[in-house]
Structure 1
Amino acid sequence: MTTQTLNTISLALNDGTETTLAGLAEKAVLLVNVASQCGFTAQYDALEALHEKYRGRGLTVVGVPCNQFGGQEPGSAEEIVEFCRKNFGVTFPLAAKAEVNGDSAHPIYAALTGSGAEPIKWNFEKFLITHDGVVQDRFASAVTPDSPELVAAVESALQ
């Protein structure tokens, strides 16, 4: 898949509206497959802080709820939004629940993990995607949103 295709793939938000990665951010998107009942769920705090700190410079964090790993995101769209806002003050966009691996993977994730790339290993894997659809970096679940390497990559993407 070309980078232009990646950047223009339709993404349903949890409120039912359709958009694209290009439509969500001025300069870059941090795309994260999220889950409400995961050991990494506390990363929502740092994801929100990153979104708040850098959104004025063109970054948008996008959470993609996924129930593929241990059934850790069983809720409805409304339950997920309520959980995220009540417990973590999340203001960044949340997509509709989607699969990230396998034959039913969302087309964005199929593109991100196609052509020999490793499949998503767990919740809270992060892809930093520039406005022109280029994957600048990929971060494992254990890499927190406030880690020096992730923050440095965001800074670089926003230059």
Structure 2
Amino acid sequence: GISTPLIAHWPAGIAAPRRGQLDHEPGHLIDLMATCIDLAGATYPKQAHGQVIPPMEGVSLRPALVGEPLGRAAPIFWEHEGNRAIRAGKWKLVSKHPGGWELYDIPADRTEQHDLSAKNPEVVAALSGQWTAWAQRVGVRPWAEVQQAEQANGVRAEK
């Protein structure tokens, strides 16, 4: 599993009583750009040089920084080198390439030691369906296809 701390320094925005406090609100790398744009008062562009720019997937972490819930409307999705996951509410569905899906109740099992996929097949089906829809929408390519293309182009040696 993954659980990486974020240390934020924002004296003008983080009230003194909140400084040095821990917050377990789930965030992701995709939220950092949204946060920077929000805190800078900038506007995310819809197009550049005549090309449409896909909307940001992340949300601003500003609410968490000031002690409020993020109110994230959509799950957090990711894929990296064939490994895939979705974090939705208390659930994290994860698959280490080339294995199958594993399901964890993060508040009850933060270190992901107890796979609950066999006990909750309906949750696995729902979340994996959401992950597949997201992967199709954002253009995730099957990892074997990516490896073949890289090898054919001499980009990197096969792992």
Query: Smaller-chain TM-score range?
Result: under 0.3
TM-score of the two chains, using structure 1 as the length reference:
0.26
Higher relative contact order (CA 8 A, sep 6+): 1
Whichever of the two has the greater Rg, that structure is 2
